[in-house]
Amino acid sequence: MNTGSLYQVKKRFWLLFPTMKTTHIYSNYRTSDQAKLVTRRYFKENNLNVTYFSPDSYIVLLEDNGNYKKVLTSEGLIGWTWFDENYNECFEEVKP
């Protein structure tokens, strides 16, 4: 992935954490119900504002720190998620 590029999310629901330090390695889920359940749990247990972004949404990669990625979502949210090269097929770069 290229910093500053726009991507369409093709697969999975991705958790969005407020800081890189709070980002959890298990950051993606197959269904929105799973993602909603986990975000509620993080908020309740850790008082963290954890959200998620979904397939068919768009993100801009703002910062790439290895497997930690800082993104801006099409909903205007900024946060951190985690994925390695095994998940690259979940994102498709949008060409102008």
Q: Which residues sit opposite 91 in a β-bridge? A: 9
Q: What is the pLDDT along the chain (96 residues), one digit of tens a residue?
A: 999 999 999 999 999 999 999 888 888 999 999 999 989 888 888 888 899 999 999 999 999 999 999 999 999 999 999 999 999 999 999 987
Of residues 81, 77, 61, 70, the one with CA closest to residue 12: 81
1: in domain: no
CA gyration radius for the chain? 12
Residue 53 lies in a domain: yes
In terms of pTM, does the model score above 0.85?
yes
Supply the range of the domain harboring residue 77.
Answer: 6-93
89 within domain boundaries = yes
CATH number at 14 reads 2.30.30
Answer whether residue 58 is part of any domain: yes
Q: Is residue 81 domain-resident?
A: yes
Overall domain count for the chain: 1
In a domain, 20, yes or no: yes
Lateral strand order in the sheet of 28-29: 28-29, 13-16, 51-53
In degrees, rounded to 5, the angle at the alpha carbon of residue 25 between the alpha carbons of residues 94 and 92 is 10
What is the reported pLDDT for 43? 80
In the block, residue with structure tokens 């959200």: 51
Predicted pLDDT at 79: 97
